[in-house]
Amino acid sequence: MKPPAFDYLRAETVGDVLDGLAQHGGDARVLAGGQSLMAMLNMRLAKPKLLIDIMRIRELRKIERTADAVVIGAGVRQADLLAWPDLAEALPLVALALPCVGHMQTRSRGTICGSLAHADPSAEMPLALVALGGEVLLRSARRRRRVAAKDFFAGMMLTARSDDELIEGISLPVINGSNFAFREVARRHGDFAIVACAATKTPSGVRLAVGGVADVPTARDWPRLEGSALDDALNAFAYELGARDDVHATARYRRDLVRMIGRDLIGEVLR
C-alpha cells in the first residue's frame, strides 16, 4: 500500500526539529532511517500530518566517547555504529546484539535512536539499553532531560517521550572488567526475536535482561546463584514476564527459552 498524504520537512538544524515538534506535537513524526516508520505509513498504521526528516542534520551524526560512556546521536545509523572501530572494546554487548537487528540492507539506513523510539518489545537495541543501564537524552523547545532506560519503555511501542520531544541521543556506560553475553532465537536470522537475552556480570553477581516476552525489555539482578537456586530464580523470572501465546511461539516455549538461554548466558559471563 501507499502512505497517506503528509507534509515533509527537511530539517537542517535541531532547532528546526524542535520548532516543528512544538508546533505540531502528535500530528508530527520524526523521520530517521524510515525502516519502521515507512512500513507503518505504507500500511496506514500511522497517519501523521507532517514528517520531519532529521537525517541531514550533521550535529546529530556523532558517536562521542567520554570518560565512562558513549553518546550516540540520533543521526547515527546502525551500520555506522557497527563500523565504529571502538565498538567491540567500549560496548561489547552492543557489538554482539547489533548484527541481529534486521539485515545489512536495513541497518544501512536504520538508526540506533529510531529503534529505541519505536520500542518494539523484541528489538535488540532497547534490550541492550536496559541491560547496560543507559540513558535516553530527550530535548524539546522547552527543556532537556535524561531518562534512565528502566523508566523509558512504558509499554509495547510506548515510551516516556512526549510528543514534542526529540531523542537527541543515548548514553551507554562503558563498563570495564565485566563479561557480556547475548543470544536470541528468531525464525530466520534478521527477523525480530522470539526471545532475546543479554547477560552481564555485575559487582555483586549477574544481571539478565530479556526481550520479546514482556511488553518492555526487562532486567533482573541476582547475586551469584548456582544449581537449583539459579533454576528456581530463572523459572520465577520466566513466569513474571507474563509470556503470551502468539503466531510466532507459545508462552510455554518462550518461558523455556528464557530458562535455557538465561542459564547458558549466566554460565558464560560468570565463568
Partner 1 sequence: MTRLKSDVRHPIHVSLNGEPVAGEAEPRTLLSDFLRHQLGATGTHVGCEHGVCGACTVVVDGMLTRSCLTLAAQVDGCEIKTVEGLAPAADRLGVLQQAFRRHHALQCGFCTAGILMSLDHYLARNPAPIEAEIRDLLSGHLCRCTGYTPIIQAALEAAAQLASSKKETSDA
Ligand X SMILES: Cc1cc2nc3c(=O)[nH]c(=O)nc-3n(C[C@@H](O)[C@H](O)[C@H](O)COP(=O)(O)OP(=O)(O)OC[C@H]3O[C@@H](n4cnc5c(N)ncnc54)[C@H](O)[C@@H]3O)c2cc1C
Per CB under 8 A, residues contacting partner 1 are: 1-13, 16, 31, 34-35, 38-39, 41-43, 49, 51, 53, 55, 77, 79, 102-106, 108-109, 188-190
Among 117, 181, 208, 261, binds ligand X (CB under 6 A): 117
Q: Is 115 in the site for ligand X (CB under 6 A)?
A: yes
- Candidates 121, 116, 94; CA nearest to 218 is 121
Per the structure block, which three cell numbers stand in for 133?
Answer: 543501564
Give whichever of 51 and 258 is closer to ligand X, judged by the CB atom. Answer: 51
* Contact map string, positions 69 to 108, toward ligand X, x by CB under 6 A: -----x--------------------------xx---x--
User: Could you give the C-alpha distances from 199 to 35, 131, 177, 192, in angstroms and in order?
Assistant: 28, 7, 14, 19
Which string of DSSP letters, residue by residue, matches 121-157? TT-HHHHHHHHHT-EEEEE-SS-EEEEEHHHHEEETT
- Candidates 158, 212, 203, 154; CA nearest to 183 is 212
Q: Which does 113 bind (CB under 5 to 8 A by kind): ligand X, partner 1, none?
A: ligand X
In angstroms and rounded to an integer, the radius of gyration of the C-alpha atoms of the chain is: 19
Q: Is 18 in the site for ligand X (CB under 6 A)?
A: no
Per the structure block, which three cell numbers stand in for 225?
Answer: 546463584
Which runs of consecutive H residues, i.e. helices, occur in the chain? 14-24, 37-42, 78-82, 87-90, 92-97, 104-107, 112-118, 124-132, 149-152, 227-240, 251-270
Closest CB 192 distance from ligand X, rounded Å: 5
Query: Residues 211 to 240: which contact ligand X by CB under 6 A?
Result: none
Give whichever of 104 and 236 is closer to partner 1, judged by the CB atom. Answer: 104
Query: Residues 152 to 171: which contact ligand X by CB under 6 A?
Result: 166-167
Contacting positions for ligand X (CB under 6 A): 29-37, 39, 74, 101-102, 106, 110-111, 113-115, 117-118, 120, 123-125, 166-167, 190-192
